[in-house]
Amino acid sequence: MKKQKRGQVIHLHDKAVGRSGRTQPVNGAVPVPKTRIITITSGKGGVGKTNIVANLGISLSQLGQKVMILDADLGLGNLDILLGLAPKYNFSHFLSGARPLAEVLVSGPENIQILPAASGIDELTALNTEQKSRIFRALDSLIAPLDFLLIDTAAGISSNVTYFAAAAHEIVVVVSPEPTSITDAYALIKILSVKHAARRFKLLVNMAADSRESTDVFRQLTMVTDRFLDVAIEYIGFVKYDRNVISGVKKQKAVRQLHPDTDASRCLVSLAKKLSRETMPVPPDGRVFSFWEKISRDKTDK
């Protein structure tokens, strides 16, 4: 097998498909995976990213979509805490070999499925190549029936964050109106573009006062990316600042559960409807990859 450059994501789009139910290409056509895999990430912590993921998953499920959320903040996961869940197992049990990934899976609000992360386990904050491959192979047997797999990464630019982002079909960057959040979002997009060849991003502005403030954030970010990076950023909307979100966090309930008609909830429903109407994005070269086909660097490249 030809060696790949260190850090490169390998695209194995010509491989035969197996357990997931996808079929071999017919007459040269590439089969399109059914499950849309969306990584939701941020350059800076504190922008409400995990809240977005939880409430978006609930909103999608309420629209009839089958949804799973992977808490990919593997060393400091808190999605289960945010939703008031008490899972018996988490990702550390899978990676240690104690439990198969299917036994780690728990049910959340509105029938969403959740793969909870561990908390306070430092060695999970930087997965090695073998661990990443194990995760993707195990996901193969779980996500085939799904419409959406949402991946909630840690904030920042760690190797875990950039890898889970680069491996997904779509990358949503969550940003708040704070200048530091905009700056850190640019840094994350730059690293994903330069080191992982990511070219397309979606931008969601959280905790905005109104649409005018959110579009101004989009303008500020794209002024810089258009000048220095070869990327395309799509503005997909905003979630209005809403005190009811904080109330939900304290009660360990999603705002979509506690206050379904509040400002933030309406924004999240609008976003879910937008995503549900979209089809699987197709890259410029016309090739669509499944999650586990975008493997980390070749094991032969040591």
- Asked whether residue 229 is domain-assigned, the answer is yes
How far CA 53 is from CA of 59, 143, 166, in Å, comes to 10, 17, 18
- Domains in the chain: how many in total? 1
- Asked whether residue 67 is domain-assigned, the answer is yes
Residue 28 near residue 13 (C-beta atoms within 8 A): no
- Could you give the angle at the alpha carbon of 141 between the alpha carbons of 140 and 147, nearest 5°? 75
**Coil, strand or helix: which one is 295?**
strand
- Asked whether residue 215 is domain-assigned, the answer is yes
Q: Which residues of the chain have pLDDT under 70?
A: 1-33, 120, 122-123, 125, 282-302
Residue 238 near residue 214 (C-beta atoms within 8 A): yes
Q: Please, is 16 exposed, middle or buried when counting C-beta atoms within 10 Å of its C-beta (0-12, 13-18, 19+)? A: exposed
Tokens of 7: 């850090």
- Asked whether residue 182 is domain-assigned, the answer is yes
DSSP one-letter code for 9: P
- Report the C-alpha gap between 251 and 249 in whole angstroms: 5
- Asked whether residue 45 is domain-assigned, the answer is yes
- Asked whether residue 299 is domain-assigned, the answer is no
pLDDT of residue 76: 81
Residue tagged 């840094």 (tokens) = 187
- Report the C-alpha gap between 69 and 148 in whole angstroms: 8
- Asked whether residue 137 is domain-assigned, the answer is no
- Asked whether residue 279 is domain-assigned, the answer is yes
Global pTM value: 0.85
Q: How many CB atoms lie within 10 A of CB 77?
A: 28
- Report the C-alpha gap between 21 and 29 in whole angstroms: 16
Model pLDDT for residues 137-189, shown as the tens digit of each residue: 888 779 989 999 999 999 999 888 998 898 899 999 999 999 999 999 999 99
Beta pairing partners, 201: 233
Q: How many CA atoms lie within 13 A of 194 on its CB side?
A: 10
pLDDT of residue 132: 80
- Report the C-alpha gap between 266 and 3 in whole angstroms: 49
Beta pairing partners, 148: 36, 67
CATH number of the structural domain spanning residue 254: 3.40.50.300
**Coil, strand or helix: which one is 36?**
strand
DSSP one-letter code for 207: E
Instruction: Show the domain range for 250.
Output: 36-74+148-284
